[in-house]
Structure 1
Amino acid sequence: MASQLTAPCDAAQVQAQAQPIYDTDGHEVTKENFYSILPADPSMSGLCIYSVRLTPEDCRLFANIERCRPPRGDPVKVTPAEASGGSVPRLSSDVLLSFNNDTWSLCMMSPQWHVVDYFSTRQTHVITGHTLGAPVPEKTERTESFRFRVERHGNGYKLTSCVRKLCRDLVLFDYDGYRLLTVEKDSRQPFVVVFKKCPWPCHTY
């Protein structure tokens, strides 16, 4: 596993794009399973990604880092963005990320990740769901704001968003007691993660 994560990244781009993503057990990440996305930094041990609502009237859930509760965060599925992409998502290729359906709220939201600008923070956040009155997606969205990429970085992986044709890292942003996952805009370091397979059946609580 260590050799998979720390191999030099300056190889031919074609080779990098063909490589799979590996979980903490050294197995390929597949679209059939759910994974806890955990910090790779040992100093952040015990933290997990969860979904959180910032205001009671908002149907959107923001991706937030907080202390882990069983079974280690809100599980996430990683799927190739192209319908013909097979079952194994690859490095440097577009993927779709979505929480387990257990994270749905009374607003009947889609659990699929995407990025939006949020006026109160002046940041571009990773969210799921929709604003009140907005239509609920009837199928998986594959448009630009719903696409992410996974890249090797240090002892783990970083996530990037390529919305507006500019690929930028996902980073942490402190706001009102939360640590929210946002798109980098001010030279903050990428949030480096690992993928831990969630046991089946995989439930949020």
Structure 2
Amino acid sequence: MASQLTGLCDAAQAQGQAQGQPIYDTDGHEMTKDNLYQILPADPKMNGLCLFAGSLSPADCPLRAIIARCWSKRGNAVMVMPAEASGGSVPRLSSDLLLTFNHTINKCMMQLQWYVDDYFDTDQMHVTVGHALGAPVPEKTDRTERFRFHAERHGNGYKLASCYKEPCRDLVMYHYKGYRWLTVEQDGRQPFVIVFKKCPWPCHT
């Protein structure tokens, strides 16, 4: 009996390793695709900052992922889910993930999905959120490579990466016009290390 139990445990562990380890929130709980999370900097020196959908102008669309002071009702809650429909409910390391903001700060649209897009003003690939002003919510979640991200353990938190336009590269913080933007690394910048804090429903802060 003991050998059978050991065999089952070993098999379960091997399956978990093959799938990738779960991603954990700041309370030590496995994240699930049905919950909302704030993305916060892991660096304690950046305490009070959040990652959310923002822009240089309230009328701008699409939005960009920016790191700024946590304000109420500013659209900084995200849902993190496996990119594959068969991926289950737990987002995992080293696997394709989709991220959507639950709220926005202007009139673009709700449930805005992250994707990577070139931004001609900065010559950077920005993490972008949303489509044209007034566009309807897509009926199906877009699962193309532009919309997929990876999470990996890094220091005291996690780093995110994009494999759009290989090789895969980390997401980094890029300063532009007084804002901190989330962009794809292309000049040796260090990854922007984050943690996920579960947000109670309704999540506005």
TM exceeding 0.5: yes
Q: Which residue of 2 aligns with 1:151?
A: 152
- Identity among equivalent positions (%) equals 69
Q: Which runs of 5+ in 2 are unaligned?
A: 1-13
Letter in 2 for 1:160: A
1:57-96 per-position Cα deviation (integer Å, ceiling 9, x unaligned): 5321111111112479610100000000000011000000
Q: Deviations over 1:116-164 (max 9, x none)?
A: 0000000000011124698863321000000001000011000000102
Match of 2:92 in 1: 90
Residue aligning to 1:39: 41
Q: Which residue of 1 is the match for residue 106 of structure 2?
A: 105
Partner of 2:70: 68
Unaligned runs of 5+ in 1: 1-11
Matches within 5 A, 1:103-142: 103=104, 105-108=106-109, 111-131=112-132, 137-142=138-143
One-letter code aligned to 1:130: H
Q: 1:134/1:118 Cα in 2 relative to 1: closer, same or farther (>3 Å)?
A: farther
Give 1:173's aligned residue. 174
Distance 1:164 1:95, change over 3 A: same
Tell me how many residue pairs correspond in the alignment. Answer: 191
Pair 1:148–1:185, CA change in 2 (3 A): same
Kindly name which structure, 1 or 2, has the bigger radius of gyration based on alpha carbons.
2
Matched, 1:164 2:165: yes
Shift of 1:24: 0.4
Superposition deviation, residue 106 in structure 1: 2.2
TM-score normalised by structure 2 residue count: 0.85
Residues 75, 101 of structure 2: 8 Å contact kept = no
Root mean square deviation of aligned Cα? 2.3
Cα 1:16–1:153 shift into 2, 3 Å: farther
1:75 partner letter? A
Deviation (angstroms), 1:21: 0.2
Aligned counterparts of 1:191 and 1:122: Cα–Cα separation in 2: 19
Counterpart residue number, 1:18: 20
**Of 23, 45, 54, which aligns to 1:52?**
54
**2:188 maps to 1:187:** yes
Paired residue for 1:8? none
